[in-house]
Structure 1
Amino acid sequence: MTAGALDPALLDDVRARIASGGAEPSDAVRDAVRDSGLVLGSAALDALARTTRAELLGAGPLQHLLEEPEVTDVLVNGPDGVWLDRGRGLERIGMSLGTTADVRALAVRLAAIGGQRLDDAQPSVDARLPDGTRLHAVLAPLAPAGAAISLRVLRARAFSLDELVASGALPDDWAGLLRALVERRANIVVSGGTGSGKTTLLAALLSLAGEDERIVTVEEARELVPDHPHVVSLATRRANIEGAGGIDLAGLVRDALRMRPDRIVLGECRGAEVREVLLAMNTGHDGGLATLHANAVAVVPARLEALAALAGMPREAVAAQAAGALDVVLHLRRERGVRFLAEIGVVGRDERGELVVRPAAWWDGRGAVELDPPVWRELAGRFGPWCAS
């Protein structure tokens, strides 16, 4: 047997040892190899232990892709359709996962590791693997290729603001503004499309908060890992098979209010919980942050109105609450495989009383920053001093 190969009988033995005694995979592999009479060198034994751990507790043949430092997403569209994103856009890799049945079996096993059911009666699932990787999987016939698997890597650490500037994610001139927004406790919405870097920027901003501040984060699935000593992470829970025991985002926001937070952070506004966040920010909870899917700062009001409507809020109430609660929108884009902060907008109401977000500055990720001088000066008057030319 080679270092990376897995004998089914040996794998079953290792699985039984882990289940019966709670042994670590590495120890279980060593014991199983010893008892089987196989002779392996230390390098081969370590490689076998890694392969076994990936098979039993990780993403199997995809695990080594998830462990690459720059990889953010691994996508499977059937046996020969494996793609990954290293931050420069999707790229296909020459890898085969066997047959459609093998892909389906992998999806089912990953869901089980994440504590979820995936079968013909429940053909789609969202789950979290033990290492924090976020899983979404869909089975045939919804996905004709046997299964479609999406894996989103949980970053082990947050990028600093300086690192984002160095990587070209935002102009150096804006770094001072972002620091001022956090220091002066602005309520901030980070908007953008899928994969545009919203969570990355949000974590960097939270890392700037004072060490004496208590941050409570509310997420559907834990992704925020700010570099901060006092973070309490809350995550939703799905209802059980009887439909009981579910905890949604709105409920967690209400719980967060009772936890003596200095900052409440909503990982993503996606439904009726936007009402709870706006109410919290209007009752003395400054310095809050949230992310929102949107195409530009100008369409953020429409997105907020649509989400708040799910909570029964009329348009006039949304405008009044949002204008009083929110200060700034930071909008991210992803173009040419590059994620960057593209627009900074100021939240307010127009002469008709409708909610608006006025762009104060914008950037195409390459050239010079462009400004709307009156709005930029207004922003500087509220959160300066910094470079407000």
Structure 2
Amino acid sequence: MPEGRAVRAALPGRPGAALDPHAPDARLIAEVRRRAAGGTAPARETVAAIVRDRGAVLGSADLDALVAAVGAEVGGAGPLQPLLDAPDVTDVLVNGPRDVWVDRGRGLERTGLDLGDASRVRALAVRLAAAGGQRLDDAAPVVDARLPDGTRLHAVLPPVAPDGALLSLRVLRRTSFSLEELVASGTVAAEVAPVLRALVASRANVLVSGATGTGKTTLLASLLGLVPHDERVVVIEEVGELAPRHPHVVRLAARRPNVEGAGEVDLAALVRHALRMRPDRIVLGECRGAEVREVLTALNTGHDGGWATVHANGVRDVPARLEALGALAGLGPEALAAQAAGALDAVVHLRRTDGRRRVAEIGAIALGRRLVVEPVLESGPDGAVRYGPGWPALAARCGLATCAGGAR
């Protein structure tokens, strides 16, 4: 039998059954789901047995292709799985059956993928939501979920999405880069790297800010790799994304409520628990809600060297962002400012320009009549660095008072 070539063969008493190894039919998928345990990707032997039962014979290469295709349908994202598996893809967006886009770090690109019709897109959205432990139907037409592999899913059904189901998938890449690699790639200017090292070494409390997709998690993972290896780092996240090169990282992951609304463990509760785990450094993967109160409280009680990420447009916008988050926790602007000024030292801001992610600004937290962030330095797209009025104080705080070019 030629390798990789599908061959039909009828078993006694059964008609031969043609199988497309790259597009398994619904009946085959249903049978695999029935036999596979817990909705996991099926074993090769399971698929081979079903193929034999249907009176078909496949070459080993075609059987491997069928196993991969069935696995994507049962335990993965179906026809979207090859896009999610591509090493350079960060986002997959589905606007319709023949309107699928990807982001490979250079902006959105349209693909030629055909998902069939609107009903198949809807069925895929519902199945992925269920895989993330969430409900998606006419009564709950919007969902935000995490798939078992960590991929973020956001899906919307009609009538909220009048033109058909919409899916947005953000890929989890647990790849860690060293600071030297970020300098080589242009994410961090060579003159900025010593400042980032000093923030870690001096146990400064720092926020990493930026828009979605600017590389906040990537930078934070790199900087946590600089933490001395005899220190315990407790990382708190909605889902495990940070993968620092450090031997003593303890992870806590939030848990969403189930369909009955029970069982939730939120980030605020995890911050409180982290304080009882003898942490040397507390790290919050993303601060976007009432947990800001617990984080600022922790950093005001002697837990130096903490880090967190936050969404913001620039370092000067961080105070307003913190005030908005503080309001969710019942903190007024004055209380928030007092807490933040005592807890935080600096803000490192990332920006994405023409598909390139880079550390664009560093600011220092200060307290005037309200919370402010003083510019410390700005790094242009060409790597040129300009120092601001906040540089002398932050340089002294981090032991960089004699750093060339900044302190005069």
Settle same-fold status: TM greater than 0.5: yes
Q: In the alignment, is residue 214 of structure 1 matched against residue 232 of structure 2?
A: yes
Q: In the alignment, is residue 269 of structure 1 matched against residue 279 of structure 2?
A: no
Q: In the alignment, is residue 163 of structure 1 matched against residue 163 of structure 2?
A: no
Partner residue of 2:326?
A: 308
Secondary structure of the 1:303 match is helix
Q: In the alignment, is residue 363 of structure 1 matched against residue 379 of structure 2?
A: yes
Instruction: Say if 1:155 and 1:225, in contact at 8 Å, map to a contact too.
Output: no
Change (3 A) 1:66 1:239: same
1:61 is aligned, of 79, 82, 85, to: 79
Partner residue of 2:169?
A: 151
Structure 1: distance between partners of 2:40 and 2:263: 28
Change (3 A) 1:213 1:367: closer
* CA deviation map 1:65-100 (0-9, x unaligned): 011111111111111221111111111112221111
**Equivalent runs, 1:62-81 vs 2, <5 Å:** 62-81=80-99
> Cα offset for 1:216?
1.6
Structure 2: distance between partners of 1:131 and 1:26: 21
> Cα offset for 1:9?
3.0
Partner residue of 1:116?
A: 134
Partner residue of 1:205?
A: 223
**Equivalent runs, 1:165-244 vs 2, <5 Å:** 165-244=183-262
Partner residue of 2:394?
A: 379
Structure 1: distance between partners of 2:196 and 2:40: 47
Structure 1: distance between partners of 2:93 and 2:166: 8
Partner residue of 1:281?
A: 299
List alignment gaps of at least 5 residues for structure 1. Answer: none
Secondary structure of the 1:19 match is coil
Secondary structure of the 1:143 match is coil
Instruction: Say if 1:380 and 1:388, in contact at 8 Å, map to a contact too.
Output: no
Instruction: Say if 1:134 and 1:221, in contact at 8 Å, map to a contact too.
Output: no
Structure 2: distance between partners of 1:12 and 1:272: 43
Bigger-Rg structure (1/2): 2
Partner residue of 1:87?
A: 105
Structure 2: distance between partners of 1:122 and 1:380: 51
**Is 170-179 or 25-34 further displaced after alignment?**
25-34
Report the residue type matching 1:28 in the other structure: T
Structure 2: distance between partners of 1:79 and 1:253: 42
* CA deviation map 1:259-284 (0-9, x unaligned): 12111111111121101100100101
Structure 2: distance between partners of 1:316 and 1:183: 31
Structure 1: distance between partners of 2:113 and 2:285: 33
Q: In the alignment, is residue 317 of structure 1 matched against residue 350 of structure 2?
A: no
* CA deviation map 1:293-350 (0-9, x unaligned): 1111111111111211221222222122111110110011112121111100011123
Change (3 A) 1:61 1:388: same
Secondary structure of the 1:31 match is helix
**Is 4-13 or 20-29 further displaced after alignment?**
20-29
Instruction: Say if 1:190 and 1:329, in contact at 8 Å, map to a contact too.
Output: yes
Partner residue of 2:5?
A: none
Q: When the two structures are superposed, what TM-score results if normalisation uses the length of structure 1?
A: 0.94
2:311 is aligned, of 287, 293, 296, to: 293
Q: When the two structures are superposed, what TM-score results if normalisation uses the length of structure 2?
A: 0.90
Instruction: Say if 1:114 and 1:127, in contact at 8 Å, map to a contact too.
Output: yes
Secondary structure of the 2:159 match is coil
> Cα offset for 1:106?
0.7
Structure 2: distance between partners of 1:49 and 1:14: 10
**Is 136-145 or 16-25 further displaced after alignment?**
16-25
List alignment gaps of at least 5 residues for structure 2. Answer: 1-18
Partner residue of 1:49?
A: 67
> Cα offset for 1:234?
1.9
Instruction: Say if 2:315 and 2:361, in contact at 8 Å, map to a contact too.
Output: yes
Structure 1: distance between partners of 2:383 and 2:175: 30
Instruction: Say if 1:377 and 1:388, in contact at 8 Å, map to a contact too.
Output: no
1:326 is aligned, of 341, 344, 357, to: 344
- Identity over aligned pairs, percent: 65
Instruction: Say if 2:41 and 2:71, in contact at 8 Å, map to a contact too.
Output: no
Structure 2: distance between partners of 1:49 and 1:294: 44
